[in-house]
Structure 1
Amino acid sequence: MTVPTVLCAGHVNWDVTLCLDRLPAPDGEARILDQQSAGGGSAANVATGLATLGVETALFGSVGTDENGHLVRRALDDAGVDCVPLVTVDADTTVKYLLVGTDGEVMVLGNDGANESYAATDLADGTLSATDHLHLTNQDPATARRLAERAVDAGATVSVDPGRRAGERDFTPTLALADVVFYNEREAPRAADRPPRDDPPGYIRVVTRGADGAAVDTPDGSHWSRDGVDVDSVDTTGAGDAFAAGFLSVVLGTEDPEYDRALTVGNACGALATRERGARVRLDPDAVRRLSDAD
């Protein structure tokens, strides 16, 4: 197995996590039990997870010139993520407010901020030629498509995680270029790759099911499924990103991917993410190994 070089592209946020005694109903109120601030954004979360698992990883997205932007860059640098492709624009860094109930379930509020203030042309020509794999998360679909086209032209493989807005934004042209696509169980039924069709999609389809684990379907009709890892969960924010990092760390650089092992490692990474507050977690390889081996 070779160690791949991965470029993650998409949202880079500053997250404010509010831990509540319950998620409020409409016209309801909840009490804040705790709060914290840290870096977030799906692309940045996956990049951090991969870097801490020992995968050489860079990040392409946009942050602002404000203090939050500086804090985001510092945290990514500390985690070992290459931020050279990261674009800085004259705007406020995107802030997301994560409302977390005592059962770990999450609601998200956000503003647009500096996110998606970049174009595919902002990525230097030589970056993708030095990249083995491009991981795309939620972003402008036209930008995602162009990045995927450039990656394919450069000989890199592509994975896509459309995220919460999978049913709102049309990623169909990008999915047609993908090797791997990630959904969670809520996103999958409304995803853009599910129009009526007789032929299966031409990519590996990974669906995460939270505490119930995850499954993989391949274009040849093969199916793998693994149960989740039983841990005391306090916050499910970013668990899917941690899963994607773990899954990719196993399958990239291999000619014959071990999907059963990739699901086991991905589930372990996702479980570790739920044991901490906030969306971004450093995935300690020893802790991942212990959970994976115990599964």
Structure 2
Amino acid sequence: MSRVICAGHVNWDVTLRVDSLPDPDGEATVKSRVGAGGGSAANVASGLTGLDVPAALLGSVGNDSHGRGAVAELASKGVDCRYVMNVDTGPTTVKYIVVDAAGDVFVLGSPGVNESFRADDLPKSALAEADHLHLTSQSPETAALLASRASNSGTTVSFDPGRRIGDRGYADAIRNVDFVFLNDREAATALDEAAGNGDISDALNETTLVLKHGPKGAEVRDGDDQYAHPGYPVDAVDTTGAGDAFASGFIAARLDGATYERALAVANACGALTAAEPGARTQLSWRRLDDLLEAT
């Protein structure tokens, strides 16, 4: 039995490291090009297994070399991939991630099949037996149905909707989750009722928010209660996947019975380790976290 089921995107990432992010009509020099598995749900599942939390993945890939490579990489890390759908209707989604010398990132996505899976692709028995469901960016209808089923079965739910929270209609899903992860930009977008996000804003006010402030740490807002951790000073190399690593640490700590303060410390340490290294998937482990955690 997997303690956590992660549902969402499974991608193939092509990371281009450049000397600088170009202005419009500008040009940059590519220093390196690396291909590897990616996608927020896949990244979180990988991080959880590194932290000794059995994790399964619900997602979809194409019947191609990128899809096979992404699944094989995850399986080698111990992720249960039995619920990753292999579909013939299109290619595995590829994301082109451009990273400059300061670790800043922008992402170019190609069409693919990373949202071809549906809630019915996950047996209800598997969801009922899990301790936790973690949702990432996906079809709003699928997210809402998975969240509702988990809530009805007594399984706790977290959701990291990602950068498209303002235009994907996730309010129904959010109403059935226990906490939502947002970075500063996503929170500003989601809570802006003037921009037409009233439904999402109302839903967020009914749940626990885990706000990621990057190098300034993170906080939890649970009703009138607030908890904060200042984070860890690191020289950022690549912030890709740092938010996913943060989620892995937070979920693992909470499943272990940690307070919000402790969970934030663990989550920030995971995010810091990932930002300090190239690529979206730093190999997380409790041994690697010890030095940073001892500073709190």
Q: Shorter chain as normaliser: what TM range?
A: over 0.9
Residues 189-217 of structure 1, C-alpha deviations (whole Å, 9 max, x = no match): 11168639899723210110111111110
Q: In the alignment, what sits opposite 2:295?
A: 294
- Distance in 1 (CA, whole Å) between partners of 2:172 and 2:4 is 21
Within a 5 Å distance, the mapping from 1:139-178 to structure 2 comes to: 139-178=138-177
- Distance in 1 (CA, whole Å) between partners of 2:263 and 2:228 is 10
Unaligned runs of 5+ in 1: none
Q: In the alignment, what sits opposite 1:54?
A: 52
Cα gap change, 1:127 to 1:259, in 2 (>3 Å): same
Alignment check: 8 A CA contact 1:50 1:245 kept: yes
Q: In the alignment, what sits opposite 1:218?
A: 222
Within a 5 Å distance, the mapping from 1:51-200 to structure 2 comes to: 51-90=49-88, 91-191=90-190, 195=198
SS in 2 for 1:283: coil
Amino acid at match of 2:249: G
- Aligned partner of 1:24 among 3, 6, 22: 22
SS in 1 for 2:167: coil
Cα gap change, 1:178 to 1:193, in 2 (>3 Å): farther
Cα gap change, 1:59 to 1:30, in 2 (>3 Å): same
Cα gap change, 1:287 to 1:198, in 2 (>3 Å): closer
The alignment's TM-score, normalised by the length of structure 2, stands at: 0.94
Within a 5 Å distance, the mapping from 1:220-239 to structure 2 comes to: 221-239=224-242
- Distance in 1 (CA, whole Å) between partners of 2:203 and 2:61 is 40
- Distance in 1 (CA, whole Å) between partners of 2:68 and 2:252 is 28
Q: In the alignment, what sits opposite 1:13?
A: 11
Q: How many angstroms does 1:294 deviate by?
A: 2.1
Alignment check: 8 A CA contact 1:45 1:281 kept: no
- Distance in 1 (CA, whole Å) between partners of 2:191 and 2:39 is 21
Residues 79-102 of structure 1, C-alpha deviations (whole Å, 9 max, x = no match): 111001111101211100000010
Amino acid at match of 1:278: G
Residues 203-241 of structure 1, C-alpha deviations (whole Å, 9 max, x = no match): 21011011111111002x110111121112110000000
Q: How many angstroms does 1:122 deviate by?
A: 1.5
Q: How many angstroms does 1:243 deviate by?
A: 0.3
Alignment check: 8 A CA contact 1:14 1:93 kept: yes
Amino acid at match of 1:207: L
- Distance in 2 (CA, whole Å) between partners of 1:247 and 1:79 is 19
Matched length: 290
Q: Percent identity?
A: 49
Alignment check: 8 A CA contact 1:172 1:193 kept: no
Q: How many angstroms does 1:130 deviate by?
A: 1.4
Amino acid at match of 1:204: T
Cα gap change, 1:31 to 1:88, in 2 (>3 Å): same
Alignment check: 8 A CA contact 2:16 2:99 kept: yes
SS in 2 for 1:24: coil
Confirm or deny that 1:201 pairs with 2:173.
no
- Distance in 2 (CA, whole Å) between partners of 1:193 and 1:66 is 41
Larger RCO, structures 1/2 (Cα 8 Å, 6+ apart):
1
Alignment check: 8 A CA contact 1:4 1:133 kept: no
Cα gap change, 1:231 to 1:198, in 2 (>3 Å): closer
Indicate the structure with greater helix content. Answer: 2
Unaligned runs of 5+ in 2: none
Cα gap change, 1:8 to 1:193, in 2 (>3 Å): farther
